[in-house]
Structure 1
Amino acid sequence: MKGGALEVLLVNAEGLKHARLLRSSSQYVITQCGSHIHTSKSTTGKDKKAWWNEKFVFKLTNSEWKSVTKIKLKVMEKDKLLEDCSLGEATIYLRGILREGERKGITELKPAPYNIVLKDRTYGGELKVGLKFDSKECQRRRKLWYPLAKG
């Protein structure tokens, strides 16, 4: 039995290069894993650092587990007057954590920095993200042993 839940902890971003220099703005992140998308809350970055401390859970079916290879995190700048614009994106490859999670049942990567890549392929800061994968088999076993526990 494959599949499970991929938990993404979006911690912060540092060294952001803002698209609009003259106005204050807020940032948010669009996180995509396969066909699933989550959007973070907006936060104002101070001193080129934005904080979210937000978790998203992507439930992966057996077929999604087989086909998903990466997660994309697109950092956006919100603007009240103009259209929101991209500040860049980070890509995290998942094959290793998914395989380890299948083998062990559950695996976790502590928050680590990932480069934010700009449209011109240069770097525009770092996005700190943690990952946790909990296989369906591990979730099933926990429900058998702890029927009142959620998970």
Structure 2
Amino acid sequence: MPPLVPPFTLDTAIAKVRVAEDGWNSRDPHRVSLVYTEDSRWRNRAEFPTGRPEIVEFLTRKWAKEKEYRLIKELWAFEGNRIAVRFAYEWHDAGGSWYRSYGNENWEFDTAGLMQRRFASINDLAIEAGERKFHWTLGRRPDDHPGLSDLGL
């Protein structure tokens, strides 16, 4: 596989999305922060973290709240140094209530392939435990687990 740097091709954009999904499914804020530039700017719901330390703090809080987090990302579009994805993730809160969160992200990368901007729009849907669709051991989604389109999401 060629380096995952812009300008992206279909193959490198798909690979970049999967690498991002794998990182987020690790739920390791420090590991995840390393794929962003030192001064990366985000919009995530109503929060606007800037730079790796704020990203780490944000993700630490996120994953303390969102228990058993499992995420699937899917390429939506790409051009040059930008990629758009859609995603869904399932999680439960401290009280055991389950949610599926849906969203879209727009990403912009520097020439080294680090993400310098991430803009996310997300909606949460309360679900029953029996409605869950993401069933794998915590961590990386297995290659044979269906993606969003395959699951009808």
Of structures 1 and 2, the larger Rg is shown by 1
Q: Judge same fold: TM > 0.5, yes or no.
A: no
Pick the TM interval, shorter chain: under 0.3
Higher helix fraction (1 or 2): 2
**Which TM-score applies when normalising by structure 1?**
0.28
After TM superposition, the score normalised by the length of structure 2 is 0.27
